[in-house]
Amino acid sequence: MHKIPNIAVIRLALYAKHLEMLHNDGVELVSSVKLAKMCGANPAQIRKDLAYFGQFGVRGVGYYVNDLLNALKEVMGTNRTWRLGLFGVGNLGKALLGFEQFAQRGFIFTAAFDKDIDLVGTEVQGMEISQSEDIKEVIKGPGCFDIAVLATGADRAQDCAMRIVEAGIHAILNFTPVRLVVPENVFVENVDFTVRLHALCYSLTTGSDVTQRHPR
């Protein structure tokens, strides 16, 4: 597993997304050509990526949508519900809470934290907002979560990250511009919208498409 390129794992999520769309439309069988076209990839790339994890599909026939979708979910660990804890209930945080595809894809917010005393103790989407200092107490109850979603101000990001780590959480989805310093056994996925905006600006300025239409 350690020899699998990171980008191949990212592409698996893209394949699963489109397979789920096909499944919802009642499609039972899909060719590698059609799946590749949907994903903006090529059939050979899909076959290569899938081969890292096993043998899928029938030569000359294609892939059984439901079987491949379930197999990819098992590989990625998304065949279960994952609980999320939100840090920072500002504009971005509230937008993330309202993003319906999280729940549709098995990601459920179970806890919310903020430094604003006026917000602490109030409710958002049925969850009581707590202070990040209380994380260890919160995760002992219904607010227990698996993945931290960090949407605080930059000035509080590292401090919150350390509290998250100290509470025993090993995965952080980081929406702040701060590159977090965490132990090696803590996984951090950085989401920086400005980087993507810079890519768009470059493409508009030069006419050269460097955007990430699809992971390659």
Task: Render the burial of 171-194: b for 16+ CB within 10 Å, e for the rest.
Answer: bbbbbbebebebeeebebeeeeee
pLDDT at 2: 52
CA pair distance 129, 97, nearest whole angstrom: 13
Report whether 93 belongs to an annotated binding site. Answer: yes
What domain count does the chain have? 2
pLDDT score recorded for residue 212: 63
Structural domain boundaries enclosing 128: 82-193
- How far apart CA 66 and CA 103 sit, in angstroms, is 20
Q: What pLDDT does 211 receive?
A: 73
Q: What is the pLDDT along the chain (216 residues), one digit of tens a residue?
A: 557 888 888 899 999 999 999 999 999 999 999 999 999 889 999 999 999 988 898 888 899 999 999 999 999 999 999 999 999 999 999 999 999 989 988 999 999 999 999 999 999 988 999 999 999 999 998 889 999 999 999 999 999 999 999 999 999 999 999 999 999 999 999 998 888 899 899 989 998 887 766 554
- Ligand-binding annotation for 70, yes or no, is no
92 is in an annotated binding site: yes
Residues whose CB falls within 8 Å of the CB of residue 117, separated by 6 or more in sequence, listed in order: none
- Pairing assessment for the beta strands 171-174 and 187-190 based on DSSP bridges: parallel
Residue 88, annotated ligand binder? yes
Do residues 53 and 93 both lie within one domain?
A: no
Which domain CATH number covers 46? 1.10.10.10
| Helix 6-24 and helix 65-76, axial crossing angle in degrees, nearest 10 | 140
Find residue 128's DSSP bridge partners.
123
The one-letter amino acid at 101: Q
Task: Give the model's pLDDT for residue 34.
Answer: 94
What global pTM score does this model have?
0.88
Establish whether 174 is an annotated binding residue: no
Same domain (yes/no): 68, 91: no
Burial of 86 (0-12, 13-18, 19+ CB in 10 A): buried
In a domain, 131, yes or no: yes
72 and 90 housed in the same domain: no
Q: Which of 136, 186, 194, 120 is nearest to 158 (CA)?
A: 186
Is the residue at 212 inside a domain? no
- Show Cβ contacts of residue 175 under 8 Å, excluding neighbours closer than 6 positions: 92, 96, 149, 150, 151, 191
The strand ranges marked E within the chain are 29-30, 63-64, 82-87, 107-113, 123-124, 127-130, 147-150, 171-174, 187-190
